[in-house]
């Protein structure tokens, strides 16, 4: 794609290959003098008049004109003066209504520098919390002027370009007048706080992606929207949970949590990390984390999202069906037999299928909404208790439920289901039941490794299927898939790798073995919470 250097009322974009482009450029350099001489000699006034008529006709075509969007930033005659740090001049903020279990407290005089705390705290606890927050209030930001930047010595990012990489200039996409004002204000804020600085002669230009966020800020979106893996020091892992740019500080008691919070705030202040005051909820016993409600009782769905989904009308297009299943599928771990219920709606999404939202699809739509409003509370995993795995197949899909039994009461931990494909639907009932168990072991591998597991199934023929010597190769492969602990034990004792593994399976097997060690006669594993547990087969 070759773009002109100067933009007027008319510009043309020529799509050519790189080779043709280079040849054209070379020919233009060689023939420039001859072509200019030919034009001057053969100049005709009538041709010039015809050329001007063509130009005037083209100027009236709006589809053929292209003017890149330009934002004029008048930094001198701005509407508002540059913001100052909150410690120097506390800003006047709009306090939004809070949930009943939250309330505002202030770190500054005259009800300035607000923070959000739990409303159930007594006066002594509130004073202790405010004392810690005032001590490290530089780690909390109320305006963009509070951002001081991360020193290069702590974090520096360099982009390594491939050889023979050509610079790319992407022009700003069209913005309406309202969004243009938003972009102007944000850029002026960034310039004032030196988050960005202007570059006049850059050979790389990327357009601004305007993405409205929950907090009202407009940010630039990542090109591929990739998740960035985060690692933290082992010492902080006891009370700090991190996912991308969100983290939670926990504690067994108020004093323990307050001490942990003090350490995190001091660390943020040392590294110039700034916390958004509106997104910080201090000393709460429940909250929304990654779209789920986390409390001492367990994990629940976000009722605000469920209320929106429950009010959706029946979809009238394939796009609407796909959108609803995407929103409902986010909470599929809370819904028993999700694949079985959603199967009529999934058939609408099949390739070359006509869109017919019949009575079965409508029934599935309403049942999914009803299940979402009555989802159970997923309890936290108690690693001292054995896991119980319940599997079943119904000819259309397979379903599994992972749970923990406490005081003879089974508490669900995770629901999983899978729709059978054309080949799997032709399996015998016994094979489908075994497939459900194999799928469950692979799905819940992170939970089951290093833990005692009890499997429940309503198909007694599986006991005899394991003992058959002339079973199908598929069943033999599934049979050897389940006892993973035996393969790992044999490898740790005698360096014996299981037969029949492909190259990628061998690499995965050797990588998993690093988390285990053998102490006769038991196999032990270092789990994700750094606790060593003994592997006990059932």
Q: Is the dihedral of CA 450, 456, 457, 460 positive or negative?
A: positive
- Domain chopping of the chain, boundaries: 18-64, 98-150+169-284, 301-373, 483-538
Domain spanning 301-373: CATH 3.30.70.270: yes
Measured CA to CA, the distance from residue 455 to residue 434 in angstroms comes to: 11
* Closest residue by Cα to residue 108 from 145, 84, 137, 83: 137
Task: Tokens for 529, please give them.
Answer: 């919470």
The tens digit of pLDDT for each residue in 461-506 reads 666 665 555 556 666 565 555 555 556 666 666 677 776 677 877 8
Q: What is the per-residue pLDDT across 123-177, written as a single tens digit (0 to 9) for each?
A: 898 888 888 888 888 888 888 777 776 666 666 777 788 888 888 888 777 776 6
pLDDT higher than 60, residue 454: yes
Spatial distance between the Cα atoms of 439 and 230, rounded to a whole number of angstroms: 29
pLDDT tens profile 277-327: 888 888 888 888 888 888 888 888 888 888 888 888 888 888 989 988 888
C-alpha span between 315 and 325 (Å, rounded): 10
Distance CA 270, CA 138 (A): 10
Give the residue with greater pLDDT, 252 vs 196.
252
Q: What is the DSSP string of 97-147?
A: ---TTEEEEESSTTS-SEEEEETT--HHHHHHHHHHHHHTGGGEESSGGG-
3-state secondary structure 460-524: CCHHHHCCCCCCCHHHHHHHHHCCHHHHHHHHHHHCCCCCCCCHHHHHHHHHHHCCEEEECCEEE
Q: How confident is the model at residue 73, as a pLDDT?
A: 64
- What number of residues does the chain have? 538
């Amino acid at each position: 794609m070759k773009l002109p250097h100067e933009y007027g009322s008319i510009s043309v974009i020529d799509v050519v290959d790189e080779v043709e482009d280079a040849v054209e450029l070379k020919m233009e350099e060689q023939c420039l003098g001859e072509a200019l001489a030919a034009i001057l000699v053969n100049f005709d006034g009538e041709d010039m008049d015809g050329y001007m008529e063509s130009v005037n006709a083209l100027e009236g075509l709006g589809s053929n004109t292209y003017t890149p969007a330009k934002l004029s930033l008048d930094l001198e005659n701005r509407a508002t003066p540059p913001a100052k740090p909150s410690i120097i001049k506390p800003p006047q903020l709009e306090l939004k209504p809070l949930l009943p279990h939250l309330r505002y407290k202030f770190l500054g005089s005259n009800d300035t520098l607000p923070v959000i705390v739990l409303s159930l705290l007594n006066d002594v606890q509130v004073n202790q919390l405010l004392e810690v927050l005032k001590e490290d209030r530089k780690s909390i930001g109320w305006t963009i002027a509070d951002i001081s930047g991360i020193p290069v010595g702590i974090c520096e990012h360099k982009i390594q370009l491939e050889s023979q990489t050509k610079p790319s200039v992407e022009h700003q996409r069209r913005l309406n007048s309202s969004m243009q004002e938003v972009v102007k204000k944000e850029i002026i804020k960034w310039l004032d706080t030196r988050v960005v600085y202007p570059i006049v002669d850059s050979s790389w230009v990327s357009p601004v992606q305007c993405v409205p966020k929950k907090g009202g800020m407009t940010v630039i979106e990542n090109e591929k929207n990739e998740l960035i893996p985060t690692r933290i020091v082992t010492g902080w892992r006891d009370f700090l949970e991190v996912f991308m740019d969100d983290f939670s500080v926990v504690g067994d008691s108020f004093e323990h949590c307050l001490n942990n919070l003090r350490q995190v705030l001091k660390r943020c202040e040392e590294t110039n990390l700034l916390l958004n005051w509106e997104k910080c909820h201090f000393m709460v016993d429940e909250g929304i984390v990654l779209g789920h409600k986390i409390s001492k009782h367990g994990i629940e769905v976000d009722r605000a999202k469920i209320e929106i989904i429950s009010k959706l009308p029946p979809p009238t297009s394939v796009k609407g069906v796909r959108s609803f299943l995407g929103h409902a599928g986010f909470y599929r771990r809370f819904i028993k037999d999700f694949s079985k219920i959603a199967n009529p709606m999934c058939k609408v999404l099949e390739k070359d299928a006509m869109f017919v939202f019949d009575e079965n699809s409508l029934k599935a739509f309403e049942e999914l909404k009803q299940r979402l409003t009555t989802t159970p509370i997923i309890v936290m995993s108690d690693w001292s208790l054995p896991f119980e795995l319940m599997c079943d197949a119904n000819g259309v899909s397979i379903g599994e439920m992972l749970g923990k039994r406490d005081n003879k009461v089974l508490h669900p931990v995770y629901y999983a289901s899978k729709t059978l494909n054309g080949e799997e639907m032709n399996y015998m009932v016994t094979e489908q039941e075994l497939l459900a168990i194999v799928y469950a072991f692979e799905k819940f591998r992170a939970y089951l490794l290093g833990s005692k597991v009890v499997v429940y199934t309503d198909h007694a023929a599986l006991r005899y299927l394991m003992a058959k010597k002339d079973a199908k190769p598929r069943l033999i492969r599934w049979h050897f898939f389940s006892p993973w602990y035996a393969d790992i034990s044999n490898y740790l004792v005698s360096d014996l790798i299981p037969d029949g593994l492909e190259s990628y399976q061998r690499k995965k097997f050797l990588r998993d073995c690093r988390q285990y060690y053998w102490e006769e006669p038991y196999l032990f594993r270092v789990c994700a919470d750094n606790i060593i547990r003994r592997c006990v087969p059932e």
